[in-house]
Amino acid sequence: MAAVSEPASRTPIVCVDECAVAAAVLFDPNPWSGNTKGLIQSCWSEYSVLHHCTSQIVATCKESKSLCARHITKVENQWTEKKFDLEKVIIFGQEPDLHLLIEAFFSGVKSLLDLLVQLLSSGGIVNTKIDGFHRNKDIYGGTVLNALENNVPTAKKDAAAKFRVLISANKTKWIDQAISARDLLVHPEKGMFQLMFMLEFIERNGKLVCVEAHPPAIGGERIDQYAQHVLEDVDRFTSEFIRLLGEISVTNNREQPMPTDERG
């Protein structure tokens, strides 16, 4: 039997999906090395899937009424058999695929943040190991902010301050809300229906008619619109994060002493 080469000895060839093409520009692993290169590749994968997931959420919400057709028919049949007071009920249509997409979206956002902040350790911005965007007490990403404040090499203090400002500004704008929404999905409050379509019915000419199947909302914004807006924020944040990391990497290379010629 012929021996099979170990995976480590082979050059990987990846047939990427369209969603990964744009991400490859931002997360190009070629300029990086060591642990940083591996993290950049993982960021590329997570970022690509996040883009794909967002497009799937948008497509699903566009087809909300057709996806809920069986639920609508069931409610209409029940109305025909025995009318009920529409003012006293709120009707939801459960679609497991949408539920999965929403959970995947928020998990993807958190996973990307977890990977990005690990670059602060691999890039030497902090002296301690950061393995995720973890909470410290009630502060999302508090462990990262503390490390950028208290565990920084003297030569990296200016760089660490820039990362701290960047992370803090984005926490206020979108990160805290996104992680909070993710936490509610994992530990939902009693009676929460945020992962279902809300079916709006009216009585028209003695018949029950479904006017709209409303997608679930986050903070008053439809999930498809919210996901697109968060993705835009992710794009801007990630681009700036990688840009800062690249600047520091270039500076580090310039500061390395030139090798001496042993031949004199």
| 57, amino acid identity | I
Range with lowest mean pLDDT among 7-11, 14-18, 142-146, 260-264: 260-264
Which sequence spans correspond to the domains of the chain? 35-64+95-194+223-247
| pLDDT above 90 as % of the chain | 71
pLDDT band per the 50, 70, 90 thresholds, residue 244: very high
Q: How confident is the model at residue 8 (pLDDT cuts 50, 70, 90)?
A: low
SS3 state at 85: coil
Between 157-170 and 223-255, two packed helices, what is the crossing angle to 10 degrees? 180
Contacts of 218 (CB under 8 A, 6+ apart): 177, 181, 194, 226
> How confident is the model over 188-206, as a mean pLDDT?
80
pLDDT tens string 147-170: 999 999 999 999 999 999 999 999
Q: pLDDT at residue 262 above 50?
A: no
SS3 content of the chain, % helix, strand, coil (to 5): 60, 10, 30
Is the Cβ–Cβ distance between 216 and 195 less than 8 Å?
yes
**In 3-state terms, what secondary structure has residue 144?**
helix
